[in-house]
C-alpha cells in the first residue's frame, strides 16, 4: 500500500505535469497519408507478432502443467499450474486491449475471457455443470462450441482458485476428477485459440499495413491507424468504467471486490498493470524487448514537449499500479483503500483525457467519440 507521503508525491507530480498536459494541437496541415504507414507496419508487423507467439507458448505451457498436475495431483503441482495460469493471463492482459482483427473475430476475445459477466451467467452455468458433470465439457473440441461463459480464463480461474476445488482435484474424488478433466479441456482450448490468433494475424496485418484505394476495408492508411488510436482510447475507458468503476460501486459502502476482474485469482489490479504495458506499446512502439521507442503513434506527434509530458504522466500511473497489491480486495481492506482506488480511477481518467486531446488531436486520429458507445 502506498504511504501517505508517496500518495502526496504522486498527486504533486500529477499536478505538476498537468501544466504540460492538454496541449492544444497547433493549426497544422493534414498529416500526409504515407506518414501513417510506417506506424502501421511497426506496430502490426514488428511489435504484435512476437507477443502472440509468447501468448501461444504460455497457453501451451499452461496445458502441459495442467496435464502433469492431473496425472499425479499434489499441492506442488497445483501451485505450478496456478503459476502457469498467471503467466498466461499476464500476456493476455497485455494483448487484450488490441481489440481488432483476429482478436475479436467470431467473438474470440470473449471465448478467451468472458468478462464482464454483468448477470452472473458463468456462476449459474458452472453450478449446473458441476451438478451434471457432462462428458462433452471434458473434450476440448466440444467445449469450444459451448457457452463462452464456460470456457476461457474465468472458467479456468474457477477451477484453479475457487473454494476447495484444488483440494478436490488433489483428493481425486468424483468432483476433483471432473474438475481436472474440465480444466485440462479449457487450457487445451485456450492453446487452440491462441494458436489461431498466431496463425491469422499475419493474414490480417498486411491488410492494414497496405491500406489504400484498392482496399475494401482500409481505403487510407489514416483510416487503418484510427483502429490503433481507438484501441488505445477504448482500453483506458474499459479500465476506468469497468475494471475500476464496477468494484468501486457508488460509494465505499457499495464497493465489492468480487465485481472486479479475476477476483478469485486475486489479480484485478495486476491485470490493469499489464493492460497499461500493452496500451503504451501502441503509443510508444516498444513492448518489453520488442519494438523501437518512438515508432508507435508518437511518431506522428511533432511536439517533443507533449511527447515527454504524456510519457511522464503514463509512467506515473504505471508506477502507482506496480506499487500496489495485485487485487482490489487487498487494497479495500486498508483504511484508505477506497480513496486510493478512487484516486487511481481519476488518474486513468486523466490519461484518457490526454489521449483524447493531445494524442487524438496531434495525430489527427481522434474524433471525439466514445469508443464504448453501444456496448
pTM of the model: 0.92
pLDDT reported for residue 163:
87
Ordered by start, the domain boundaries in the chain are: 10-17+32-363
pLDDT reported for residue 231:
98
Report the alpha-carbon distance of residue 51 to residue 37 in Å, rounded: 21
The CATH superfamily label for domain 10-17+32-363 reads M75 peptidase, HXXE motif (1.20.1420.20)
Report the alpha-carbon distance of residue 292 to residue 284 in Å, rounded: 8
Identify the CA nearest to 261 among candidates 240, 244, 280.
Answer: 244
Contacts of 105 (CB under 8 A, 6+ apart): 200
Q: What is the pLDDT along the chain (375 residues), one digit of tens a residue?
A: 444 444 444 443 444 444 444 445 555 689 999 999 999 999 999 999 999 999 999 999 999 999 999 999 999 999 999 999 999 999 999 999 999 999 999 999 999 999 999 899 999 999 999 999 999 999 999 999 999 999 999 999 999 999 899 999 999 999 999 999 999 999 999 999 999 999 999 999 999 999 999 888 999 999 999 999 999 999 999 999 999 999 999 999 999 999 999 999 999 999 999 999 999 999 999 999 999 999 999 999 999 999 999 999 999 999 999 999 999 999 999 999 999 999 999 999 999 999 999 999 999 999 755 545 544
| DSSP structural state of residue 163 | T
290, 284 contact by CB (below 8 A): no
Amino acid at each position: 500500500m502506498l504511504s501517505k507521503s508517496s500518495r502526496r508525491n504522486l498527486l504533486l507530480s500529477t499536478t505538476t505535469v498537468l501544466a504540460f498536459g492538454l496541449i492544444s494541437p497547433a493549426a497544422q496541415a493534414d498529416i500526409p497519408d504515407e506518414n501513417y504507414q510506417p506506424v502501421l507496419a511497426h506496430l502490426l508487423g514488428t511489435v504484435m507478432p512476437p507477443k502472440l507467439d509468447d501468448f501461444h507458448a504460455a497457453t501451451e505451457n499452461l496445458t502441459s502443467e495442467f496435464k502433469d498436475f492431473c496425472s499425479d495431483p499434489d499441492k506442488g503441482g497445483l501451485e505450478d499450474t496456478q503459476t502457469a495460469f498467471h503467466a498466461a493471463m499476464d500476456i493476455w492482459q497485455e494483448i487484450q486491449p488490441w481489440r481488432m482483427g483476429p482478436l475479436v473475430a467470431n467473438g474470440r476475445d470473449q471465448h478467451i475471457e468472458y468478462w464482464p459477466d454483468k448477470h452472473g451467467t458463468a456462476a449459474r452455468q458452472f453450478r449446473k455443470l458441476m451438478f451434471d458433470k457432462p462428458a462433452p465439457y471434458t473434450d476440448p473440441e466440444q467445449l469450444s462450441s459451448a457457452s463462452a461463459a464456460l470456457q476461457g480464463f474465468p472458467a479456468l480461474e474457477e477451477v484453479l482458485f475457487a473454494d476447495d476445488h484444488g483440494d478436490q482435484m488433489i483428493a481425486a474424488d468424483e468432483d476433483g476428477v471432473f474438475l481436472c478433466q474440465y480444466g485440462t479441456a479449457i487450457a487445451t482450448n485456450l492453446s487452440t485459440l491462441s494458436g489461431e490468433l498466431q496463425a491469422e494475424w499475419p493474414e490480417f496485418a498486411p491488410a492494414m499495413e497496405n491500406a489504400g484505394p484498392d482496399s475494401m476495408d482500409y481505403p487510407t492508411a489514416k483510416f487503418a491507424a484510427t483502429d490503433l488510436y481507438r484501441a488505445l482510447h477504448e482500453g483506458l475507458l474499459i479500465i476506468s468504467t469497468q475494471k475500476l468503476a464496477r468494484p468501486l460501486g457508488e460509494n465505499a459502502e457499495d464497493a465489492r471486490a468480487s465485481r472486479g476482474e479475476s477476483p478469485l485469482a486475486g489479480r484485478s489490479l495486476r491485470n490493469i498493470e499489464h493492460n497499461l504495458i500493452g496500451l503504451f506499446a501502441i503509443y510508444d512502439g516498444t513492448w518489453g524487448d520488442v519494438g523501437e521507442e518512438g515508432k508507435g503513434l508518437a511518431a506522428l506527434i511533432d511536439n517533443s514537449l507533449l511527447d515527454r509530458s504524456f510519457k511522464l504522466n503514463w509512467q506515473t500511473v504505471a508506477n502507482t499500479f506496480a506499487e500496489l497489491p495485485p487485487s482490489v480486495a487487498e487494497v479495500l481492506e486498508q483504511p484508505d483503500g477506497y480513496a486510493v482506488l478512487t484516486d487511481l480511477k481519476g488518474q486513468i481518467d486523466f490519461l484518457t483525457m490526454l489521449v483524447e486531446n493531445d494524442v487524438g488531436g496531434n495525430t489527427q486520429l481522434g474524433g471525439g467519440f466514445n469508443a464504448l458507445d453501444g456496448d
